[in-house]
Chains A and B, each alone.
Chain A
Amino acid sequence: MKTTASLLASAAFALTGVAASAQEMANEMTIVSWGGAYQKSQLKAYVEPYQAMHPEVNVIWDESSAEAVAKLRAMNEAKNITWDLVDVEAADAIRLCDEGLAMEIDFDGELAAGDDGSTPTDDFGDSLVSDCFIPQIVFSTTVGYRTDMVGDTPPKDICAIFDLDTYPGKRSLNKRPLANVEWALLCDGVPKDEIYDVLATEEGQERALAKLGTIKDQVIWWTAGADTPQLLADGEVVMGSTYNGRLFSAIAEQNQPIGMLWDAEMLDFDGWIVPAGLDAPRLARVMDFLKFATDSQRLADQAKWISYGPARASSAPLVGQHADLGIDMAPHMPTDPANAKNVFVTQYDFWADYRDDIDAKFQAWLAR
């Protein structure tokens, strides 16, 4: 493994060396993303306009975001970073930053000011959850249901998941504790602002699992975001949790008989990190691209292709219509005030601490 790594390293070095002598910025950039509709939205909104301005830049896509943390750590140990820009969830960005695998970003120095004149720090606001993380989108984990299987009373609040009398049938939930335990406590009567305090205690964790236990034999546990829309489309489940963009595409683009619940959804961020240890020409290119790709207009443009909200406040008024369907995208954003009346914002600090602990208990509970 080490020889291959060093061979690759010297090859990469030779390549960048040539680029560096010709120009200050590298002309090749490897961007890591999630593939599918989301990657397409990034291609259309960021990369194609950037390449129109800089035709010499060649972008290589790598669909490895799901394993980005492990792969970056391996690259770092092999001292051969082949990625230039990586799209990850905020929780992963925090871990990468903690491990020293992602570079710290000077937000106000490196990024473009908002279209309304605000500084990047103010414009991104609460979404700046880590020193290494440049947010792009706000997404939410929410619940979709089959409109033809819930009778005349479509669910209005999140606790419908636990209501087997009114909504009998299978439901699909994430095979990770995140969101599930919060919803369980909320529906077990814990006030919303006390949920994380309760969850930090042994009894609270037991209580959440006990509540989930009331529906355990009716749950199909999903591991990929595409599972729930598929299960809903097949009629395998009556309702299930997934990312709001997946539900939007099943409802608006594929016309499935699915409805979406905007209650107690978990807001989360997704964005860029720059791997630590890039050489100067590559770093210069990435930072140049980032400055362009995270300005107000570009973030708003991305919403033309996918229903995730831009992370900058100044982008919200710029959000237009869906590129193919021509419908207004603003009402489908998780950040739309009508949708965000009652939301959870993921507590990254809490989950950084309790993730391993609660996950172990959750998996042990699942296996029993």
Chain B
Amino acid sequence: MTTSSTDPGSMDAQTSGNGAKPGPMLAADGTPLKRSLNRALRRQKLRALMLIAPLLIFVLITFIAPIADMLFRSVRNEIVQETLPMTVEALKSWDEETTELPDEKVFEAAYYDMFLAAEQKLHTRLGTRLNYELTGISSLFRKTGRAVDRFDTDKYVDDFAALDPSWKDPATWAAMFANEDIAKALPQTAHLWQRWTDFLQTKNEDPAKEDVEPFLFTSLYSELMAGADVSGLSPRLEQAAGAVKTFTPVSIEQQFIDADKDWGNHEVWATIKTYSPAYTPGYFLNAVDAQLTADGVSARPENEQIYGILFKRTIFMSITITLSCIMLGYPVAWLLANLPMRTANILMILVLLPFWTSLLVRTSAWKVMLQQQGVINDVLVWLGIISDSGRLIMINNQFGTIVAMTHILLPFMILPLYSVMQTIPPTYLRAAKSLGATNWVAFWRVYFPQSVPGIGAGSILVFILAIGYYITPEIVGGTTGTFISNRIAYHISSSLNWGLAAALGSILLAAVLILYYAYDRIVGIDNVKLG
């Protein structure tokens, strides 16, 4: 935590500069002294770096990299593009400001994407992701994934097969797209065929044995209808190109809406489009009670705003806990530092004993102490201070959290305070008094300023530990005493919204760093002493 600002190299350079002689000072071998010194210094630095390299690499790989990766999730959003690539592309030309649904082209693209996603079982994952933004998408995707291979598009299969039965043979398709000219004339179908065979190969299935799925026929139909030029490429294709106009078209839009009427909901499409970029500010906006909609950024409805309250509460309670730790820890540390060694050691053990006790045990003990039928209330009732019906509520609220956490974090305040106070010579106080200071003035003007670095170190430790505390608030916090970390834990382990958890975590980390910086500016981190 202490940073060294004095650099031996810079001092050397300064002293050499102070010579004030014309021309550069030369070393024994004739090179300028400055350069020679720099070189020696660089070698030293390199050696030092190599010595710490194992630790540095270890910390980078096991600590920094995973945290960075986790925090990066707060903006990552490739899942939409990866799962629905053609839909995202097709939606670019759709204006979400209008009240109209996207056109048939978009529905068609969504059909191809959805079919392939459902085969790979990726659609439900995307449904869960988009459900964070619009309630209902989760089941919409699940339902559509089940329906998508029962779309009426199998009619096209029969239509093509009626022209030539070999259309149903996967070998026909494989041969067709092996021909580069055909692949160029029918780019969309060729692309889909490629994705389809790639997928089959990852499943270790032979594309030559699998049925050609209706979505491929749909794409072929749609490209031929759009007037793809296949003349001279293959008689089978030419025959089909001539015949497609006689097929009865199937409305893909209608198929989607039959699968779930929510596909007719403008908001669903707007959500997909809004969240189609690979990086999104959506999670961060969520973390500050705002939301990203098609109309831009807006605040969440008041009955859903929670994170602002929790951040404010976390900061407020952490400060309160730090202050209570100072109030309680200062006299104890002073006693420890000023009592004779033997007594101080016994006291020290009393400070360390709870420090070594399991966190859960201590928190549960506070539950027994503070609850309405607990020890403190029982004693108060027995003493007649409160009536049996008027038992105090001291747990499952902010009070309970502050009491339990102050107790748990107290050693982190006492120990740095103690180690700083030990270095303050008692003679200073005596000298102050001999010069006429009262007890209070001697303490406040002489002793206290010297103990400030200890308070600083203790406060930073306690505050940073408190701000990310999780288990104690969870057990004794009730509803008014929980922290932002409880919400982060919920999103990590329960709702699986890791993006939002990462955004909340990043904000918390940023808050700590800003406070640390401010502290450095105001008090100075060099004044912090741990011993």
Residue-wise interface mask of A (84-99) relative to B, using a CB-CB cutoff of 8 A (1 in contact, 0 not)? 0000000000010111
Which of A21-29, A150-158, A249-257, A351-359 lines the interface with chain B? A351-359
- Nearest residue, chain A, Cβ from B309: A367
Contact, CB under 8 Å: A352 / B138: yes
Give the shortest distance, in Å, between A132 (CB) and chain B (any CB).
10
Which of A1, A66, A234, A364 contacts B62, CB < 8 Å?
Answer: A1
Contact, CB under 8 Å: B497 / A220: no
User: What chain A residues lie within 8 Å of B493 (beta carbons)?
Assistant: 66-67, 69-70
User: What chain B residues lie within 8 Å of A100 (beta carbons)?
Assistant: 121-122, 124-125
User: What chain B residues lie within 8 Å of A63 (beta carbons)?
Assistant: none
With A and B bound together, what is the CA distance between A220 and B477 in angstroms?
A: 10
User: What chain A residues lie within 8 Å of B479 (beta carbons)?
Assistant: 175, 221, 366-367
With A and B bound together, what is the CA distance between A363 and B495 in angstroms?
A: 13
With A and B bound together, what is the CA distance between A1 and B68 in angstroms?
A: 12
- Nearest residue, chain A, Cβ from B487: A363
Contact, CB under 8 Å: B136 / A353: yes
* With A1-B62, A361-B304 as contacts: A98 and B127 at CB distance below 8 Å: yes
Within 301-343 of B, Cβ neighbours of A (below 8 Å) are at 303-306, 309-310, 313
Residue-wise interface mask of B (200-225) relative to A, using a CB-CB cutoff of 8 A (1 in contact, 0 not)? 00000000000000000000000000
Contact, CB under 8 Å: A367 / B139: no
> How many interface residues does chain A have, given as a range?
35 or more
* With A98-B127, A98-B142, A364-B304 as contacts: A356 and B497 at CB distance below 8 Å: yes
User: What chain B residues lie within 8 Å of A353 (beta carbons)?
Assistant: 131, 135-139
Which of A3, A66, A357 contacts B135, CB < 8 Å?
Answer: A357
User: What chain B residues lie within 8 Å of A220 (beta carbons)?
Assistant: 396, 478
Give the shortest distance, in Å, between B411 (CB) and chain A (any CB).
27
With A and B bound together, what is the CA distance between A223 and B493 in angstroms?
A: 14
B373 contacts the other chain (CB 8 A) = yes
Interface centre among A98, A220, A235, A349 (most CB of B within 10 A): A98
Contact, CB under 8 Å: B138 / A1: no
A13 contacts the other chain (CB 8 A) = no
User: What chain A residues lie within 8 Å of B62 (beta carbons)?
Assistant: 1, 3-4
Which of B125, B138, B496 contacts A69, CB < 8 Å?
Answer: B496
Question: Taking chain B's interface residues, is the majority helix, strand, or loop, or is none over half, making it mixed?
Answer: helix
With A and B bound together, what is the CA distance between A353 and B310 in angstroms?
A: 25
Give the shortest distance, in Å, between A266 (CB) and chain B (any CB).
18
Contact, CB under 8 Å: B66 / A1: yes
- Nearest residue, chain B, Cβ from A69: B496
Give the shortest distance, in Å, between A191 (CB) and chain B (any CB).
23
Within 311-368 of A, Cβ neighbours of B (below 8 Å) are at 349, 352-357, 359-361, 363-368
User: What chain B residues lie within 8 Å of A98 (beta carbons)?
Assistant: 124-125, 127-128, 138, 142
Give the shortest distance, in Å, between B202 (CB) and chain A (any CB).
13
User: What chain B residues lie within 8 Å of A234 (beta carbons)?
Assistant: 371, 373
Give the shortest distance, in Å, between B144 (CB) and chain A (any CB).
13
Give the shortest distance, in Å, between A36 (CB) and chain B (any CB).
16
Contact, CB under 8 Å: B125 / A221: no
Give the shortest distance, in Å, between B481 (CB) and chain A (any CB).
10
B33 contacts the other chain (CB 8 A) = no
User: What chain A residues lie within 8 Å of B16 (beta carbons)?
Assistant: none
Give the shortest distance, in Å, between B126 (CB) and chain A (any CB).
10
Contact, CB under 8 Å: A99 / B138: no
Within 36-77 of A, Cβ neighbours of B (below 8 Å) are at 66-67, 69-70, 73
With A and B bound together, what is the CA distance between A49 and B246 in angstroms?
A: 67
Give the shortest distance, in Å, between B293 (CB) and chain A (any CB).
15
- Nearest residue, chain B, Cβ from A71: B493
Contact, CB under 8 Å: B303 / A99: no
* With A98-B127, A99-B124, A367-B480 as contacts: A70 and B303 at CB distance below 8 Å: no
User: What chain A residues lie within 8 Å of B40 (beta carbons)?
Assistant: none
User: What chain B residues lie within 8 Å of A188 (beta carbons)?
Assistant: none
Residue-wise interface mask of B (18-48) relative to A, using a CB-CB cutoff of 8 A (1 in contact, 0 not)? 0000000000000000000000000000000
User: What chain B residues lie within 8 Å of A67 (beta carbons)?
Assistant: 493
User: What chain A residues lie within 8 Å of B496 (beta carbons)?
Assistant: 69-70, 73, 95, 99
With A and B bound together, what is the CA distance between A69 and B121 in angstroms?
A: 17
With A and B bound together, what is the CA distance between A69 and B494 in angstroms?
A: 7
Residue-wise interface mask of B (485-508) relative to A, using a CB-CB cutoff of 8 A (1 in contact, 0 not)? 001000011111110000000000
Offer 18 A-B interface pairs, CB within 8 angstroms, sorted by A. Answer: A1-B62, A4-B62, A69-B493, A69-B496, A99-B125, A220-B396, A221-B478, A221-B479, A236-B371, A353-B136, A353-B137, A356-B131, A359-B495, A360-B306, A364-B303, A364-B305, A365-B303, A366-B479
Q: State the 5 A-B residue pairs at the shortest beta-carbon distance, nearest first.
A: A98-B124, A364-B306, A357-B135, A70-B493, A366-B479
What 8 new A-B contacts, CB under 8 Å, besides A170-B372, A353-B137?
A70-B494, A100-B125, A220-B396, A220-B478, A349-B142, A356-B135, A356-B497, A364-B305
